[in-house]
Amino acid sequence: MKRWCAALVAVMLLTLPAGAAETTPAVDAGAAVLMEQETGAVLCEENAHDKLEPASVTKVMTLLLVMEALDSGGLSKEDMVTVSAHAASMGGSQVYLKEGETMSVDDLLKAVAVASGNDAAVALAEHLAGSEEAFVARMNERAQELGMVDTHFVNCTGLPAAGHLTTAYDIALMSRELMVHHPDIQTYTTIWMDSLRNGQFQLANTNKLLRRYPGATGLKTGSTDAAGYCLSATAERDGMALIAVILKAPTSDARLSAAETLLNYGFANYTLVDVQPGQALPPVTVRLGQVSQVQPVLSAPGRVLVERSQVDAVTTQVELAADVEAPVEPGQILGRLSVRVNGEERQTLPLVAAQGVARISWGGIFSNLLQGLLMVS
């Protein structure tokens, strides 16, 4: 076991606006969640785990699987997709694809993200998985992988279907996965107006927050008679991104107002604070190494989510190994940085070796001993 010593306790004096609200906002919706995107922390919620119909907000998962295929190299935006009779038969929101028509993945993504095209969603699903049923099976697998335990998809569109249910919290989880790991989706979700078929078919975004909410970045609307008006809304300000999910609002305006209320609450009352050691980290002694010390560094930049009123209560504490035996690998963990708010640990970040240190050879040990003897004599 490595020996540990506590050192370098520092208070981070930070100056940001204060004043978190005493109560969370009320919204006119069946369920709602506000999540901070980077940390996944839930800032406020109402009926977050009630199973409800998501309507076309379902397509967040469809978009996620398509973006994963693009980013893994299994799909290209330039690939041409041939529309099947099944895809062309979709009702509801559509871009009126015809059986046998071909369209690029890029344009189909635009049709889904901007116009919520059910036909475009099915065409992409069939192209990726061979059939909508196979694609939906992957949707449900991915949902389980993301911890969406209260979700079951029946189709890739959100059209009404028995048993097609999810929750506001689960929608926030898949929205976060899409926005954090596939930020290029914003190329599509921030489009206000565009066109398909060489300008012959006009698109207008169903997410009106793009025009009325500063910092809006997406994400997906949905509505049916049974589901009511639904929305997963994302926005970013001052380096912090939020996800507001609204389910079963009574009107389109109500869902937009509810999302705005949640987003305003989050931006007004929370912030992300950069965390760093309060002073320079001391080197760690290396036993039997070709050099005697190795420099620890933070493994990656870190930030902690706090209420704005708690900014001055953020402190950091460093714990480092007293020494370490060679060989030391680059990135090897040497300690940790504990981030605390009002004395309560909120986050830990690894402190790692900035460079590797090779183990000294027997010849090197003998040479060092000899040099030591000569210096003594």
The residues annotated as belonging to the active site are 56, 59, 116
Any idea what DSSP says for residue 359? B
With beta carbons less than 8 A apart as the criterion, state whether 310 and 363 touch.
no
Q: Please check if 98 is assigned to a binding site.
A: no
Q: What is the CA radius of gyration of the chain?
A: 26
**Token pair 């100056």 is at which residue?**
15
b/e burial code for range 181-220 (CB count within 10 A of at least 16 → b):
ebeebbebbbbeebebeeeeeebebbbbbbeebeebbbbb
Closest CA to 9 of 245, 356, 318: 318
Interhelix angle 118-129/132-145, nearest 10 degrees: 90
H helix or E strand, kind and range, residue 259: helix 252-269
Closest CA to 321 of 358, 286, 291, 280: 286
HSE, side-chain direction, 13 A CA sphere, residue 278: 17
Looking at the DSSP bridge assignments, the partners of residue 363 are none
Interhelix angle 132-145/59-72, nearest 10 degrees: 90
Any idea what DSSP says for residue 39? T
Burial of 343 (0-12, 13-18, 19+ CB in 10 A): exposed
Any idea what DSSP says for residue 16? -
Give Cα 230 distance to the centre of its chain. 20
Identify the three-state secondary structure at position 315: strand
Distance of alpha carbon 139 from alpha carbon 174, whole angstroms = 11
Structure tokens at 222: 């949905």
Cβ-proximal residues to 125 (8 Å cutoff; 6+ apart), any chain:
62, 131, 132, 135, 136, 156
Q: What are phi and psi of 355, to 5 degrees?
A: -150, 165
Binding site residues for substrate, as ranges? 220
Binding site residues, as ranges? 220
